[in-house]
Every structure is written in structure tokens, then in C-alpha cells.
């Protein structure tokens, strides 16, 4: 009897957990028919929402996973005739008769003559992200020292293993809808996610950006804090809307490193976006930010929104196969990094940034941030020496002090590796989870 009661309660909780937000009525996938026309919303420039037409072509069933479907559609209007499907519009909501269908999230092939896109059903976005928010122990992805470009790529390949075609064989895809061929399932991929990079020297960030590019991201030098103060002040007084640009920040402050997409739905303080994973970690604690679209960069290969992340407005708590989701709040705890650089010329510069608390990204981004600062203000090549002194604050264990001297033709690499080496070791230890509170 107790077992039956437990099963019944579990079924009720699951049923309640995947319900549609009260703010919106969904348009079920089973009611969709080829030829239906809907309207999508996104921002092509600034913060102005613009509509575009969505022509339903059919439904691809069981293409993301078991009972995971994708709606195939042709987009029309706005800049889309010249750009095709745009990187950064992942999450753009689509409505039919005022009911929310889902999020524009996938593109079909490359060099396409028409903007054909995949739409993730809203019900599947909500279902996948309706799991408890507290984060599980971090997945321990091997980050090999020294951090060579090859080691960066290997680590990110492990973390981004979800980035592959839906089906390796066209016969594995079931397709419903006139005029569709099963082979399209092997051509559909998540729309590239723009990677906003600001304050980094190209020679320093390029190895990391290249590693992200392999995994479906589109690195763009957008400039840190790219939104002008007047626009930022106006945005603070405006509630977040479906179709607005949205950012996920990994580094904030004097340096910027993050990704941008589009809001699909806002229900109270709950936000759904992207329609595909950021990088598929599951439970997360990443800063959710506003974003500002400077312009659209048209390209036959891959058009994209040139955007910058803005102020932190919440926390991204779920990074799942069909969406990212989080809440509007003050944001998660970040790791403050304070760096003081004193040269033999008698000048001192201080840099401040904050980095996400993540087993993979914390040491990786701390390394490139430190190396970037050294390379930007001191010589990159030729004989030089660095005296490194600092500390890392570890929760429950206090400070870990370090001090050393590096010299040679490229001492900045050794100095940056020396600082993040112990952090990488602590975060990867197999005995207990460690929280780094400052560097």
C-alpha cells in the first residue's frame, strides 16, 4: 500500500512539474498541420521587438531523443530574407492564434537559400527544465596542465559531447508532413550561439574561442559592457519580454565572456530561453543577464546578431537538452578575481572581474583572464621576468598562499598556469566539493 501511494504521489508530482506556465496557453504539437502560419518575435537591433512570419512545414518526431520532437518551419520577414536563420535568435518565441508553439532553435544545413528552422515545442522546454534547482556535484571534466590549445579543445569536447546531429542515420528519423524527407534529420543542428568576448587580446583568446567554435559556438569580439548607459537605464525599467535578447555570463567586470540568445517565455520570475542547451551541464548557477543587439551581420555561411551581455538580472539554473531556464533574482555567487600588475616602470594597474563557479570553467577562464592581462600590458615575447604573489580563499579552509618567480621568453604562460594549477586540482579532487571564494 505504501509503495502504491509513493508511486501515485510521484506520478502527481511529475504531472504537476511539467505543466505549462499560467501566463501562456500552448499550441500542442499534435494539432499542428503543414500550411499553418504563425508569428515569431525577436530583436534584430537595439531592444525593439519585431515580428516575423512562421510557415509550418511539418513535425519531426523522436529526433532529439525519446518523445522529443521538432517542428520544421520556414521563416519570413524582417531581415530574414537577407540573412537566413540568425545565430543569436535561438529561443525566439513562435505563436499561432495567440498560443505559444515553441522556440526557434535549430537550423537546417549551411548556405541555405531559404530560412528553414526547427522549433522546439514549449511543452518539452518546460518539462525538461522542471527539475529541482539545487546543483548536483560538478561533473569532473579532465583539464590537463599546461593549458595548451590542444588540451583546451580536448576538455571542451568532453563537456560539449551533446553537440552532434540528431541522428547519424536518416532511417532513424520519423518524419510527418507533406514534402519532407527523412534525411533532413541528419542536417539539423542547434542554431550557433554567439559567444560574446570583450577586453581580450585576440592572440590570447583565440585558442579558447577556437575550441568553442568546434562545439557550435560563434565567437565574436563584442566589447565589454557594450550597451550605452542610456539604453541600459531604459532596459532596467522595462520588464523582460518573450523575444528579448538574453545573456549567460561566464566572466564579468573588466573582461566579458558569455553567450547570447533569446527569451522564449516569462512566467512570473521564471524564464525559459534558447530552445537547446547552452552546453548541457544540467543544474547550473550561471548569471542571467540582459543583452543588447548592436546589429545583424549577414553572411551566406552563418548570419549572426552582434550583441553584448549587460547587467545581471537572474540565475540560469537548468541547462537541458531542450532549453535553458532560470529565475529573475539578484544572481548567483561568483568568484571575484582581483589582479594587481606592477611593472618595473613604476606603474601599477588593478583589474577586477568575476568568474562563474564551475569545475571546468573556473580554472579555464581564470587562466585566460590572467594571461590576457599580462599579455596586454607587458611584452608577450622576448626575455622577461614575473614575480607572482597572491592567494586563493577556499571556503572552510581559509587562504591558500602562493609565491614564485618566472623568467624566460614566455614567462606569462608559466605565471598564469602556476596560479590556476592549484585551483584546478582543488576543484577536481575526488574527496569533497570545494568552493573557491576569491582569487
Asked if 185 contacts 243 with a C-beta cutoff of 8 angstroms, the reply is no
How confident is the model over 122-127, as a mean pLDDT?
94
Could you read off the pLDDT of 314-343 as tens digits, one per residue? 999 999 989 999 999 999 999 999 999 888
Average pLDDT score over the chain: 81
How confident is the model over 419-433, as a mean pLDDT?
81
Q: According to the model, what pLDDT value does residue 9 have?
A: 38
For 310-349, b where at least 16 C-beta lie within 10 A, e where not — what string?
bbbbbbbbbbbbbbbbbbbeebbebbebebebeeeeeeee
Please list the residues that pair with 305 across neighbouring strands.
Answer: 296
Rounded to 10 deg, the angle between the 411-428 and 361-377 helix axes is 160
How confident is the model over 283-301, as a mean pLDDT?
91
By mean pLDDT, which of 9-13, 340-344, 428-432 is the weakest? Answer: 9-13
CA 371 from centre of chain: 23
Q: Binning pLDDT at 50, 70 and 90, where does residue 14 land?
A: very low
Q: Hey, which of 50-64, 201-215, 218-232, 367-381 has the most confident mean pLDDT?
A: 50-64
CA distances from 61 to 58, 119, 264, 275, 434 (A): 10, 12, 21, 16, 42
Q: According to the model, what pLDDT value does residue 134 have?
A: 54
Q: According to the model, what pLDDT value does residue 171 have?
A: 39
pTM for the model: 0.83
For 87-124, b where at least 16 C-beta lie within 10 A, e where not — what string?
bbbbbbbbbbeebbbbbbbbbbeeeeeebbbbbbbbbb
% of the chain with per-residue pLDDT over 70: 76
Asked if 139 contacts 132 with a C-beta cutoff of 8 angstroms, the reply is no
Q: Binning pLDDT at 50, 70 and 90, where does residue 354 land?
A: very high
Amino acid at each position: 500500500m505504501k509503495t502504491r501511494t509513493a508511486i501515485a504521489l510521484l506520478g502527481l508530482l511529475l504531472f504537476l512539474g511539467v505543466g505549462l506556465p499560467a501566463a501562456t496557453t500552448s499550441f500542442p504539437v499534435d494539432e499542428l498541420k503543414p500550411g499553418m502560419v504563425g508569428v515569431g518575435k525577436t530583436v534584430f537591433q537595439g531592444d525593439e521587438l519585431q515580428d516575423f512570419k512562421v510557415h509550418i512545414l511539418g513535425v519531426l518526431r523522436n529526433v532529439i531523443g525519446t518523445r522529443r520532437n521538432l517542428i520544421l518551419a520556414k521563416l519570413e520577414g524582417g531581415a530574414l530574407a537577407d540573412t537566413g536563420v540568425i545565430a543569436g535568435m535561438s529561443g525566439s518565441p513562435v505563436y499561432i492564434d495567440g498560443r505559444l508553439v515553441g522556440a526557434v532553435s535549430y537550423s537546417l544545413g549551411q548556405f541555405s537559400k531559404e530560412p528553414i528552422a526547427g522549433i522546439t515545442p514549449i511543452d518539452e522546454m518546460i518539462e525538461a527544465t522542471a527539475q529541482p534547482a539545487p546543483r548536483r556535484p560538478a561533473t569532473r571534466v579532465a583539464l590537463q596542465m599546461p593549458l595548451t590549445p590542444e588540451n583546451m579543445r580536448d576538455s571542451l569536447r568532453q563537456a560539449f559531447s551533446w553537440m552532434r546531429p540528431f541522428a547519424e542515420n536518416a532511417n532513424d528519423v520519423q518524419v510527418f508532413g507533406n514534402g519532407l524527407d527523412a534525411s533532413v534529420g541528419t542536417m539539423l543542428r542547434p542554431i550557433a550561439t554567439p559567444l560574446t568576448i570583450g577586453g581580450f587580446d585576440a592572440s590570447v583568446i583565440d585558442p579558447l574561442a577556437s575550441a568553442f567554435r568546434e562545439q557550435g559556438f560563434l565567437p565574436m569580439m563584442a566589447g565589454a559592457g557594450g550597451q550605452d548607459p542610456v539604453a541600459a537605464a531604459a532596459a532596467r525599467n522595462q520588464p523582460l519580454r518573450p523575444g528579448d535578447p538574453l545573456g549567460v555570463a561566464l566572466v564579468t567586470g573588466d573582461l566579458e565572456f558569455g553567450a547570447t540568445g533569446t527569451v522564449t517565455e516569462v512566467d512570473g520570475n521564471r524564464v525559459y530561453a534558447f530552445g537547446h542547451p547552452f552546453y548541457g551541464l544540467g543544474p547550473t548557477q550561471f548569471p542571467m543577464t540582459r543583452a543588447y543587439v548592436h546589429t545583424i551581420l549577414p553572411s551566406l555561411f552563418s548570419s549572426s546578431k552582434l550583441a553584448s551581455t549587460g547587467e545581471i538580472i537572474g540565475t540560469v539554473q537548468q541547462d537541458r537538452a531542450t532549453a535553458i531556464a532560470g529565475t529573475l533574482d539578484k544572481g548567483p555567487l561568483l568568484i571575484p578575481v582581483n589582479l594587481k600588475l606592477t611593472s618595473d616602470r613604476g606603474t601599477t594597474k588593478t583589474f577586477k572581474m568575476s568568474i562563474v563557479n564551475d569545475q571546468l570553467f573556473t580554472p579555464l577562464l581564470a587562466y585566460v583572464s590572467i594571461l590576457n592581462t599580462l599579455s596586454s600590458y607587458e611584452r608577450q615575447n622576448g626575455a622577461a621576468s614575473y614575480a607572482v604573489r597572491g592567494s586563493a580563499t577556499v571556503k572552510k579552509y581559509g587562504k591558500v598562499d602562493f609565491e614564485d618567480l618566472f623568467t624566460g621568453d614566455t614567462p606569462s604562460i608559466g605565471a598564469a598556469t602556476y596560479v590556476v594549477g592549484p585551483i584546478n586540482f582543488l576543484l577536481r579532487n575526488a574527496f569533497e566539493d570545494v568552493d573557491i571564494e576569491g582569487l
